[in-house]
Amino acid sequence: MLQHEMLSIVQEQFALDLNCSPDDLTGEKDSFVFTEAKENPGRRLYPRSEQHFEILSMGNAIIVSASPDILTIVKAELSGKSRDEAFSMPFVYGHALYYLPALDSIAPISPPDGFSFALVEQEDIPALYAHDGFRSAMQYDKDHPRPDVLVTLAKSGKRIVGMAGASMDCMRMWQIGIDVLPDFRKRGLAAYLVNWLTREILDRGIVPFYGTSPSNIASQRVAHRAGYFPAWICSYKGKFEGYTLSSTN
C-alpha cells in the first residue's frame, strides 16, 4: 500500500461517515463543509444520539456533520470562525487526535529484552478477556459491533503484561489500542507491540490507525516511536444545553 492509496481509503471512509465528498476533506484553505448526518451503508458504527454532532479536520477544511436541528445551530455559531476557533467552541466536547502509519519510513522495532511475545488471531481473542487491565486494547465483548480482530501481546514469565489490539471499525480501517500494566511501562513494550501490530495489519491490506487525546503525551510518544504521524483531529460529541432544539419543542 502506498501513502496516497492509504489516504484515499481514509478519505473515502470519512465521506461515508460524515455524508460528504472525499474532495471536501482535501481543501487547501480553512473552510467549513456542513452536512446532515445520514446512516450511510458502510459508515463506521460509532454510537449516535438523536441530536448528533461531529467535527473533523485533516488539516485545513473542517467538516461538520450533525442532525438537522444541531446543524442549524452550529452553522450560525461557526460563521466567520477559523479552524482553531471552531475546535475551541464551548459546544465542541472531547477532542481526539488520530494517527496513520508513515508508510515510507515505518520500520520494525526490536523487541525489548526479557519478554516473550505472541500474535493472537480473532478466533482466539475471547480467551484473553479473562485478563483484566487491557480495556484500551480490547472491547471485552465477542459480539461487539466493532469486534476485536487481532492482538499482539507481551508476557513476563507466564503473566500477560501488555497488549495492543485492533478493532474492526470498518472493513478497510482497523483501530489500534494499547495497554501495558503500570509496573512494566517505560520499557519500550507499547511502541514495539503497536509497531508489530501495525505491520501485521498492513500486510493484510487494511489501514491501521491510532487514536489518543491531545492531552495524553505518553500515548502520542508511543505513536511517534511506532512509526505514525498525526493525520486528523475530531470530536464526536457536543454540548448544546441552553440552545433551542426544534426536536424538544
Assess whether 92 and 144 both reside in one domain: no
CB atoms closer than 10 angstroms to residue 200: 19
Residue 155: inside a domain? yes
Assess whether 188 and 122 both reside in one domain: yes
DSSP 214: T
DSSP 43: -
Number of domains in the chain: 2
Distance CA 153, CA 196 (A): 10
Assess whether 22 and 93 both reside in one domain: yes
Q: What is the CATH number of the domain that holds 194?
A: 3.40.630.30
Residue 14 CA neighbour count, 13 Å, CB half: 29
Of 86, 80, 37, 45, the closest CA to residue 62 belongs to 86
What pLDDT sits at residue 248? 43
**Signed CA dihedral, 102, 105, 111, 112: sign only:** negative
Assess whether 202 and 154 both reside in one domain: yes
Residue 104: inside a domain? no
Assess whether 203 and 242 both reside in one domain: no
Residue-level pLDDT, tens digit, the chain, 249 residues = 899 999 999 999 999 999 999 999 987 667 899 999 999 999 998 988 888 999 999 988 899 999 999 999 999 999 999 989 999 999 998 899 999 999 999 999 999 999 999 999 999 999 999 999 999 999 999 999 999 999 999 999 999 999 999 999 999 999 999 999 999 999 999 999 999 999 999 999 999 999 999 999 999 999 999 999 999 999 988 888 878 766 443
Distance CA 14, CA 22 (A): 7
Domain of residue 220, residue span = 116-226
Assess whether 206 and 153 both reside in one domain: yes
Residue 216: inside a domain? yes
**Signed CA dihedral, 216, 219, 225, 227: sign only:** negative
Assess whether 123 and 143 both reside in one domain: yes
Residue 107: inside a domain? no
Note the Cα 133 to chain centre separation in Å: 20
CB-based burial, 124-157: b 16+ in 10 Å, e otherwise: ebeebeeeeebebbbbbeeeeebbbbbbbbbebe
CB-based burial, 236-247: b 16+ in 10 Å, e otherwise: bebebeebeeee
Q: What angle do CA 59, 61, 62 make, to 5 degrees?
A: 100
Q: Is the pTM of this model over 0.85?
A: yes
What pLDDT sits at residue 29? 67
What pLDDT sits at residue 246? 61
Residue 1 CA neighbour count, 13 Å, CB half: 24
Assess whether 17 and 88 both reside in one domain: yes
Residue in the block written with cell 482466539: 124
Assess whether 135 and 68 both reside in one domain: no
Residue 52: inside a domain? yes
Residue 110: inside a domain? no
What pLDDT sits at residue 94? 86
Distance CA 7, CA 232 (A): 11
Assess whether 89 and 130 both reside in one domain: no
Residue 157: inside a domain? yes
Assess whether 209 and 191 both reside in one domain: yes
Residue 220: inside a domain? yes
